[in-house]
Chain A
Amino acid sequence: MASSGHQSPAALGHLHVVDMSDSIAGQYCGRLLADHGATVTLIEPPEGSPIRRAAPLSVDTPGESLMFRHLNAGKRSIAIDLAKTGAQRLRDELMSRADIIILPPGAARKEFAAIGAQTVVVRIDDFAPETSLGHWRGPEIVIQALSGMMHNNGAHGREPLYGYGERSAFAAGLAAYIGALAALYVRPTIGRGQDVLIDRAETAAAMAFPYVMQFLYSGHDRLRSELSITAGQALCRDGWVCIWIYNFRWRALCETLGLAHLISDPRFADPLTRKANWSALFEIIQSVVADRLADEVVDALQQAQVIAAKAPGLTELRDHPHLIARDYWRRAGDERILGPAWRFSRTPRGEIAPPPALDDTRMMRSAAE
C-alpha cells in the first residue's frame, strides 16, 4: 500500500486497557486494542482464564490453546487471587489507571469502586441481562438461529446450517472495539468516560438484516427455498469454486467457459428463466469445469470480470501464493500468528509479543527487581 513517507508511534500506544472479560468476544476486543499498541493487561484467576483451556489445542506445543494464542498475543497477564490479602488493592490499582476496562458478562461499573469517571467500560453479554432473554444460554448456534442468518443456510428440505466457529463472538468483539474507540474519541468533548454495552444476539441480527428489512417493507417473509443469490458451487478437479452470475456478465461467463451456445438457449434467455432453470444451468457449468483446475477457472472468469472464488481448505491458506506475496503470516516470538486485519500507512501493526504466560507481569516484576 501507499506509504506516507514516515511512520508514527502506534495509534493506541498511549492507552492502558484492563481485560477481565474471560470470553472470546471480550478478549478479541482486547486483542485488537493490543494490535494497535495499547498496553493490555489480562487479569486472570489463579488457575488462568478459561480461554487458556479452550479448543483447539496446539499439537506442537501440548497444552497450549490456539484460541488463547489468537486472542491474547500482545497482551500481558496478571493472576489475581481475590481471596488473598492485597489482591483487591492490586486489581483496583490496575483498574484505576485504565482508559478502557473490559468487564466479564453481567458485571457492571458500579461493582468496582476503583473505576474512575474517565474510564470507558466495555461489557459484552450474550443477551443483555435486563431483557426477557437475559437468562438464556447463548452458544453460537443459538445466537445464529435467533439472528435470522441460519434461516438462509443449507439446502431446502434439510436442516439449516450454522456458520462454523464462534463468529458472533468475534463480531461482538469487533463492535465493542468500535464502541470503545468512539467513547474515547468523544471523551475530551464530554469530559468523562462511558459504558459500551454490546449484546451478541443483537450484533448477530445486525449482520443479517436485509431480509428482515424486506419483510418490514413489503411483508414478504423470505423462504429458504427462494433462490435470491444467483451463485453456486462447482467442483473442479482440485477443489470447489463459487461462481456468481451477474446478469450483465452472463455473456462473458458463457464465452469464458466455452458455453457460448447457452447465450441463445431459451432456458437461459433472461434472468428469470435462468433462475427457473438454475439446476440445469449449474449441471452444465459443473460438467465443463469438472476436469479443470480451480485456480485456472477462477482466473479465467476473473479476467472476464465474472466474480468467482476457490474455496481453499485451511491448509492451503498456509502456503497460499497470494498471502505469501503479501507477507501475511507473522510470528509472535517463535509462534505463528495471523497477519493484521487492517494495514495502515503511518501506524502499521508492529511486532506482537507472544501470548503471555499466566501472571507474566509477576515474572517481569521479579526480573526488574
Chain B
Amino acid sequence: MNPLPLAGIRVVELCTAWAGPMAGRVLAWLGAEVIHVEAPTRTNSWRINKETPQPMNFANGDPGARHYDRTFLFNSQNVNKRSLVLDLKTTEGRAALRDLLAVTDVVTCNFRPGTLEKLGVDYESLARIKPDIIVAEIPAFGLDGPMSGYAALGPTMEMAAGMASLIGYPDGPPETTGPSYLDPIGGFNAAAAIMTALMHRQRTGEGQHIEIPQVEAAMQFIGADLLLSCETGIDIPRGGNHRPDAAPHDAFPAQGVDQWVAIGVFDDDQWRRLCVVIDAPEAAHDPRFVTHGARLKHQREISELVREWTRARDKHAIADALQDAGVPAAPVQTPKDVAASRHLAARGFFDELERPDLGRHPYPGLPVRLSETPGGARAAAPAFGADNVAILRDILGRSDDEITAMIASGVIADAPKPGA
C-alpha cells in the first residue's frame, strides 16, 4: 500500500472557525499529522461554547455534558486531527508550544496579524530554531496595509472582495452566499500555498513564510470581471439569477414549501428541448422566444410559462426529466437532499467515522482524489484536549511527573474554563 502524500509531515494549527482549520483538514486528508491547538481560556468558535446549547447543533441532538465536543461544526472540520489544549498565557504553556514548533514542518495561523509575534513564535523566531519551517498566516486582508488589522468572517470577506456587489436581487442589497462561502475557499487557498512551499522545501530544503490574504485570493474567482470593471469604470449591476448568455436562467418554484429547481438555457436547441418537456411546443416557435436575444428580452414571460409547469411538480423529477432531454437543470438541494445525493454517494463523498462518545456518523469528505495515494477521513475529530498527554509524552518527551504538574497547574486542560 502506498503511503499518503504528506505522511511524515507535521502541521500545527493555531486557528479557529473555518478557513484555517479547512487548510489543516485538507493537509490531514492527504496524510499530514495535524495538531489543532486551542487554549482553555479561548476555545475554537466552532465549538459553539459561548452559546446556550440548542439540540439541533449536536450529535444525536444531544448537547450532553461536554457540548463543546459534540458540535456539528467543529466535528465536521477537524476530522483526522489531534487536539492539544495549552494555556498560552503561562510560561510553561508557551514553552511547550515552542518545543512543539521546533519539531513541526508547517504552522498555520488564521488569527489577526501579530498574533504569532505576541506568542513569540513568528516566522523569524521559528526559523532560527528550525530553518526549514513553513509558517502560513491566513489573514483576511493581508499582513500589511491600512485594513490589515480588520477582523473578518466569510460573509464580510465576500463583501470586501467585491463578490457580494455582484450578487442580489436587482432591487435589493448585495448578498452574501453560504454557508459563508469564502471561508472554505480561504482554507483551500492556504492548503494550495502550503503545498507550493512544501514542493520548494522538498527540492531545496528551504522553509519560508507564506501570507494568504483571503480577500485577495478570493478576488481571483471574479478576476475577469474585475479586469473589465477596471477597464470600463463601470460596475456590473446585480441581476438576480439572470446572466447575459442564458435565458431562462433562474430558480423556479416546485412542489412543496420553499422548494426550487434551477434551470438554465444557453442555446436555441436547449430552448426547443425545454419546450418539449414542459409540453409547450408552440413556445419553441414563438417569435418572442425563438432566438437567444429575443428570450433575453422576454424573460418575464418565459418565467411565467416555466413556473406554471414546475410549481406542482417534484424538483428532483423535473431536473431528471430536463437533464435527460439535454437541458441544464438541478434541484435546489436542502441539507437533507445533499446527504442523500446519489452523485456524492457514487463519489464516496461521505465517510462513516466513530467516536465512542459521539457514536457512528457519516462525515462529508473532500474533492481531492488521487488514484494511487487517495486521501480520506480516517478518524473522527478529537475531543477537547484529547491528545494532550500523548503529544507531550511522545513528541515532546515530557516525563509523567512533568505532565502531572502541567495538568495540576492548568497549563494543559481537557475542558474549557468558564466563558471560554
Contacts and interface: CB of A to CB of B under 8 A. Distances in A.
Contacts of B246: 139
Interface string A68-92: 0110000000000000000000000
B50 A309 contact: no
B118 interface: no
A54 to B, nearest CB: 8
B371 A197 contact: yes
Interface stretch (B54-62, B274-282, B289-297): B54-62
B344 interface: yes
Nearest to A188: B202
B165 A313 contact: yes
B111 interface: no
Nearest to B229: A314
Interface string B322-338: 01001111111111111
A339 interface: yes
- Counting chain A residues whose Cβ lies within 8 A of the other chain, the interface size class is 35 or more
Given A178-B191, A217-B58, A151 B200 contact: no
Given A151-B335, A342-B192, A158 B169 contact: yes
A287 interface: no
Nearest 8 A/B pairs, CB to CB: A314-B229, A309-B156, A313-B235, A342-B193, A145-B262, A213-B76, A209-B364, A194-B372
Given A179-B368, A205-B364, A148 B230 contact: no
A349 to B, nearest CB: 10
Given A145-B330, A244-B156, A172 B367 contact: yes
Contact of B197 (A11, A156, A182, A298): A11
Contacts of A55: 224, 244-245
A201 B230 CA distance: 31
Interface size class of B (residues with CB under 8 A): 35 or more
B311 interface: no
Nearest to A150: B332
Contact of A242 (B176, B224, B225, B245): B176
A132 B342 contact: yes
Contacts of B262: 141-142, 144-145, 150, 162
Contacts of A65: 224
Interface string B191-233: 1110111111011101011111100110111111111111111
A138 B342 CA distance: 16
Q: DSSP majority for the B interface?
A: mixed
Interface string A263-293: 0000000011000000000000000000000
A75 to B, nearest CB: 15
Contacts of A344: 193, 196-197, 208-211
B141 A190 contact: no
Given A149-B177, A151-B335, A198-B368, A130 B199 contact: no
A325 interface: yes
Interface in B150-207: 150-153, 155-157, 159-160, 162-169, 172-181, 184-185, 188-193, 195-200, 202-204, 206
Interface in A83-110: none
A136 B322 CA distance: 10
Contacts of A247: 50-51
B368 A196 contact: yes
B226 A317 contact: yes
A135 interface: yes
A182 B30 contact: yes
B177 A153 contact: yes
Contacts of A147: 333, 338
A310 B141 CA distance: 13
B234 to A, nearest CB: 7
Contact of A175 (B4, B160, B178, B367): B367
Nearest to A159: B251
B338 to A, nearest CB: 4
11 contacts: A11-B200, A128-B346, A136-B330, A143-B330, A163-B181, A171-B188, A182-B370, A309-B160, A314-B225, A338-B219, A344-B208
A333 interface: no
A240 B172 CA distance: 11
Given A196-B370, A229-B155, A59 B347 contact: no
Contacts of A199: 347, 367, 369
B48 to A, nearest CB: 11
Interface in B9-61: 26, 30, 50-52, 55-61
Contact of B328 (A142, A154, A178, A337): A142
A221 interface: yes
A174 B151 CA distance: 25
Secondary structure class of chain A's binding surface, majority of residues: mixed
B228 A59 contact: yes
B224 A185 contact: no
A306 to B, nearest CB: 9
Given A151-B334, A152-B178, A179-B369, 20 more contacts: A11-B196, A131-B343, A133-B343, A139-B266, A146-B330, A153-B177, A159-B253, A163-B167, A165-B221, A185-B199, A199-B367, A214-B72, A217-B57, A221-B334, A247-B50, A314-B165, A317-B229, A326-B216, A338-B219, A342-B211
A179 B375 CA distance: 10
A174 B150 contact: no
Given A183-B5, A244-B155, A312 B209 contact: no
B255 to A, nearest CB: 15
Given A151-B334, A218-B72, A344-B196, A310 B208 contact: no
A270 B312 CA distance: 41
A182 B175 contact: no
Given A339-B216, A341-B217, A342-B217, A214 B56 contact: yes
A72 B178 CA distance: 29
Nearest to B375: A182
A177 B199 CA distance: 12
A344 B177 CA distance: 30
Contact of B200 (A8, A60, A156, A325): A8
Contacts of A192: 372
A130 B369 CA distance: 14
Given A1-B144, A159-B251, A205-B364, A314 B236 contact: yes
Contacts of A155: 169, 172
Nearest to A170: B221
B365 A206 contact: yes
Contact of B336 (A145, A221, A315, A338): A221
A235 to B, nearest CB: 7
A185 B230 contact: no
